[in-house]
Structure 1
Amino acid sequence: MPKVDRRILKSQAAIKKAVVELMSEKSFDDITIKDICDRADLSRKTFYLRYIDKYDLLDKLIEEHLNELRELCEIELEMELDYIEGYQIWFEFFEKNYLFFSTMIVSKGAPTFRNRFLEFIIEEVKGEVNTAEGINIGLNEEVFVQFFSSAFVGLVEWWFKNGMPVPPRVMAEQVGLLFERNL
């Protein structure tokens, strides 16, 4: 794999940081390429070398964070973590990336993030559901998956909107126990 120039990585990081900061201040629709370039202290040419437009930037930024979550899921599987340990990794990741997640979830200018995040959670929950036996016998699997996925996304949304009032470890314990009881 060819080595990527550090200047390219630095400019991409500056652009990503700039758009997230701007989204925490105003609607995505009101953000211009000029705003992003000014905040990142880069030229428009540099921006257009990396991205087609601001929507391409947003799409790549969202995909980058969802891919990191996918990687965390793979690590959880390899390490055979229980729900609480797994969710602690997630909530620590959310906390570490607070500006991104809080901005994406709270921002009305990026509804695509919430939809893609929900789709991601649905895929993760599907693998955990068992409606053939136990307390969930006879439940419609799709209803069950939608219910728990929507609940999880809503809980994460609540957590960010309220400034993370509960530490990641406590969130992990609470969510883990809820999932253990119901899955």
Structure 2
Amino acid sequence: MDRRIGKTREAIFEAFISLMAEKNFEQITVNEIAARANVSRGTIYLHYVDKYDLLDQCIETQMEQLCESCLAGGEDAHIASGGALLRTAEYLERHAWVFTTLLNNKGVPAFRTRLHAILLQGLSEQIDMSGLNRGMNKEMLIQFLASAVVGVMEWWITHSMPYPANEMIEDILALMERNQMAPRPLDTVQ
């Protein structure tokens, strides 16, 4: 991508997120985004269909960057594994402003939904259905686990990350292991 295009898109994204930190998504106008980004309204429409497309692309970009960062661990190539969960929390911690804004804005459930979907996929690929999980409905178990992890991460982010990322993930994995639902043993967390 041309550097100028990248810089313009970054300015639009930053303006959009800063406006979302101030007001509800539904109240934000393309004119406000353009003014804050110091670009014309037409420039925004060159890159995005409307503010909903901008939101979708912002979330998708953030999720792609999150996944790239979290799955960079080689052998721990599932987002639901201990190491990948820790890298996820650390990435969220480093980019707290963006994710806090996305989660706190009442008009944006799409981010939470996307994170939930990624965890569902990771868990479905590696959940152990033997032992206590034998005979359980796998889909229901995966929904339960993904909802619990996303719920705790959402709480952690919206409450200004009161604990370090590694402590939160250790606690999540301990709870999962205590209930024999952990996708990977705790000793795989790095």
TM-score by length of 1: 0.89
Indicate the residue corresponding to 2:188 in structure 1.
none
Greater helix share, structure number: 1
Q: State the AA in 1 paired with 2:107.
A: G
Counterpart CA distance in 1 for 2:155 and 2:42 is 39
Counterpart CA distance in 2 for 1:99 and 1:154 is 18
Q: CA deviation at 1:49?
A: 1.2
Q: CA deviation at 1:139?
A: 1.2
Q: CA deviation at 1:83?
A: 4.0
Indicate the residue corresponding to 1:139 in structure 2.
136
Matches for 1:9-88 after TM superposition, within 5 Å: 9-76=6-73, 78-80=74-76, 83-88=81-86
Q: Percent identity among equivalent residues?
A: 38
Q: CA deviation at 1:158?
A: 0.5
Q: 1:15–1:37: 8 Å Cα contact kept in structure 2?
A: yes
Counterpart CA distance in 2 for 1:25 and 1:123 is 33
Residues 126-163 of structure 1: per-residue CA shift (max 9 Å, x gap): 112122x1221111101100100110111111001211
Counterpart CA distance in 1 for 2:128 and 2:75 is 22
Counterpart CA distance in 1 for 2:76 and 2:24 is 41
Distance 1:130 1:79, change over 3 A: closer
TM-score by length of 2: 0.86
Counterpart CA distance in 1 for 2:176 and 2:69 is 18
Residue of 84, 95, 98 corresponding to 1:100: 98
Q: CA deviation at 1:93?
A: 0.7
Q: 2:102–2:111: 8 Å Cα contact kept in structure 1?
A: yes
Residues 49-86 of structure 1: per-residue CA shift (max 9 Å, x gap): 1111111110011111222233245423x233794432
Q: 2:71–2:84: 8 Å Cα contact kept in structure 1?
A: no
Q: CA deviation at 1:13?
A: 0.5
Indicate the residue corresponding to 2:186 in structure 1.
none
Q: State the AA in 1 paired with 2:75.
A: M
Residues 82-105 of structure 1: per-residue CA shift (max 9 Å, x gap): 944322211111012212211111
Q: 1:87–1:176: 8 Å Cα contact kept in structure 2?
A: no
Indicate the residue corresponding to 1:182 in structure 2.
181
Q: 2:128–2:181: 8 Å Cα contact kept in structure 1?
A: no
Segments of 5+ residues of structure 1 without an aligned counterpart are: none
Counterpart CA distance in 1 for 2:134 and 2:113 is 29
Indicate the residue corresponding to 1:116 in structure 2.
114
Q: State the AA in 1 paired with 2:181.
A: N
